[in-house]
Structure 1
Amino acid sequence: MSNDDKYPTESGRRRFVKGVVGGAALAGVGTTGAVTVNSATTSSGAGGGSTQAMAIENTAGPAPRGMPQIPIEIDSEGYLKGVWPEVQEITEGGVTFQVAETENFNGSDVTYSSEWFQYCGVESYQGIQPDYESDNYFVSGANPAYTWQQDAYSEGDRLHVDDFSDYKSWGNGIGDSGVGKPASGTWRSQDSEDTIPIQVVRSERIQQAAQDDPWLKASTSQGFIAWLNKCTHFCCVPGYKQAADAAKFNAENDVYCQCHQSVYDPFTITETLFVARPRPEE
């Protein structure tokens, strides 16, 4: 079986077909069934436990699973925001606690939860607490890896659609041009000691795939896709088209983690089941 077909229909993975940028054949392919439980995190507890999440696919390296996707929306002025789930109180085992969770997110039949992000110590971050007050905008960090972003933004500036207008042709000398235009940034981190790193890519592949895939239609906008940018192996911060040595691992058009060579495909979304860490008691 080839790497491009590593998940057969019966695997229960949600994925979509890879294709040439601009190819009209790109479409979403959804399947149902069980997914493999990953036990690399701690046992369940209040606000944690077995969690099913949508993630960009891990295709190589030691990472146990993909990085969780962040549903995205664009406000009336063109600024990019990460959607936060609805905050509610639930009781498990006699313990009542808050959780941010939205069932059937935008009609996708997917339950979107803040527990998607409870790994790598992020579960202790102030911004990941369900009731943390934030405007949820994606903002540029202090030292973005991309020259275009360094020229366009200062630290704390909100990412804007207009600055991605050349996404169909953009390139930086790593891999192929025209695959997608990226930006790095932070989310729900203002007035917090902890920084939640995110990555955004705008691509024709996402725009086309969202036409036929209910989840992508619900969670992406105008070709933009975003994810929590913490490698699920040892919690490093990977990068899309950032590392020149990514080509050694056939990852020049993918998200590559230089720490231990894990590779992720931002254009393939998988359904993953793992044990989310419980949030610390406040």
Structure 2
Amino acid sequence: MSDSDDKYPTESGRRRFVKGVVGGAALAGVGAAGSATVNSATTSPGAGGGPTQAYAIENTAGPAPRGMPLIPVEIDSEGYLKGVWPDVQTETQNGVEIEVAETDNFRGSGVAYSSEWFQYCGVQSYPQLAPSAEADNFFRSDSGAYTWQQETYSAGDKLHVDDFSDYREWGNGIGDPGIGKPATGTWRSQDSEDTMPIQVIKSPVVEQKAPEVGGFFEAATQEGFLAWLNKCTHFCCVPGWKQSADAAKFGNANHVYCQCHQSLYDPFTVVQTLFTALPRPDE
């Protein structure tokens, strides 16, 4: 595609989050960590989808076109970790009323948080991504990418804050110890054949940076917990934080590393991204 091609067609069928971003114009000087990444794709027809502004952990190296989107964290009254699902509402797109899941001004951040953030890598076709789908929002353990997790949980168990209490000391010989404790899991995938993989970290770095940076970074984290949809934006592999020593060979052992094509993501830097969310199947 040449620089003159219109990457963001005027007729998108979806209201724009940033006015005037047409023809490949770049967002600049924005983002929760003082920077922004602009990504493009071809608009697809159908309900939902289109140019979408999201917040993500930053892609710092490799072929991935953008960061992986944050999932705002909520801790329930019993200490279990959940991902927040946006509010369900009705909008008119191309003259047709459809349901969307979107929360304007999420937790006072000024950011519109939408389920469209997760509409890539085939996830857009998952039934649990439909706005009003009845799905379990708890973060649940998968088989466990870490020894501590395998010893603590069975697959399907809900992640609990108490099990991250040693987050200031935890280490597994990869990167620097004491910068956080991770777990892998799933979200909105209970009793579903389609799995939405997630990664969670509780980190003193998040605790420090969230109030300093503010905005969506602070709004999406709680008690030092940060989470994201763990689908690499390149070829949809499932990366990992402190799962492979190979991360050091490609830039930083403390970053999230994708083993497929060596993309790196910084989980402690949250940036604004602009991409074209794929449409959900017609309902």
TM range, normalised to the smaller chain?
Answer: 0.7 to 0.9
Q: Who is 1:45 aligned against?
A: 46
Q: Who is 1:259 aligned against?
A: 260
Residue pair 1:44, 1:50 contacting (<8 A) in 2 also:
no
Matched, 1:163 2:163: yes
Cα distance, 1:218 vs structure 2? 1.2
Q: Who is 1:107 aligned against?
A: 108
What does 1:200-211 correspond to in 2, within 5 Å?
Answer: 200-211=200-211
SS of corresponding position for 1:174: coil
Cα 1:158/1:45, change in 2 over 3 Å: same
TM-score by length of 1: 0.87
Q: Who is 1:191 aligned against?
A: 191
CA distance in 1, matches of 2:116, 2:30: 19
Aligned residues: 256
What does 1:116-135 correspond to in 2, within 5 Å?
Answer: 116-135=117-136
Q: Who is 1:12 aligned against?
A: 29
Q: Which moved more, 1:126-135 or 1:184-193?
A: 126-135
Residue pair 1:41, 1:277 contacting (<8 A) in 2 also:
no
SS of corresponding position for 2:117: helix
Cα distance, 1:210 vs structure 2? 1.6
Cα 1:211/1:37, change in 2 over 3 Å: closer
Residue pair 1:44, 1:276 contacting (<8 A) in 2 also:
no
Residue pair 1:99, 1:130 contacting (<8 A) in 2 also:
yes
Q: Who is 1:6 aligned against?
A: none
Instruction: Show structure 1 runs of 4+ deviating over 6 A.
Output: none
CA distance in 2, matches of 1:15, 1:281: 34
The code of the aligned residue for 2:65 comes to P
Cα distance, 1:280 vs structure 2? 0.7
Residue pair 1:56, 1:68 contacting (<8 A) in 2 also:
yes
1:153-210, Cα deviation, whole Å (9 max, x unpaired): 0011000000000101100011110111100000001121100000000101111112
SS of corresponding position for 2:182: strand
- Aligned CA-pair RMSD: 1.5
CA distance in 1, matches of 2:42, 2:256: 22
Residue pair 1:56, 1:69 contacting (<8 A) in 2 also:
yes
Cα 1:85/1:59, change in 2 over 3 Å: same
Q: Who is 1:173 aligned against?
A: 173
SS of corresponding position for 1:166: coil
Residue pair 2:140, 2:186 contacting (<8 A) in 1 also:
yes
Q: Who is 2:7 aligned against?
A: none
Residue pair 2:46, 2:282 contacting (<8 A) in 1 also:
no
1:47-77, Cα deviation, whole Å (9 max, x unpaired): 1001000000000000000000000010011
SS of corresponding position for 1:139: strand
SS of corresponding position for 1:11: coil
Residue pair 2:38, 2:66 contacting (<8 A) in 1 also:
no
Cα distance, 1:44 vs structure 2? 5.0
Cα distance, 1:106 vs structure 2? 0.5
CA distance in 2, matches of 1:199, 1:275: 23
Cα distance, 1:144 vs structure 2? 1.2
The code of the aligned residue for 1:104 comes to N
SS of corresponding position for 2:248: helix
- State the percentage of identical aligned residues: 69
Residue pair 2:180, 2:202 contacting (<8 A) in 1 also:
yes
CA distance in 1, matches of 2:120, 2:198: 14
Cα distance, 1:37 vs structure 2? 4.5
1:229-252, Cα deviation, whole Å (9 max, x unpaired): 000000000000001211111231
Cα distance, 1:11 vs structure 2? 2.8
TM-score by length of 2: 0.87
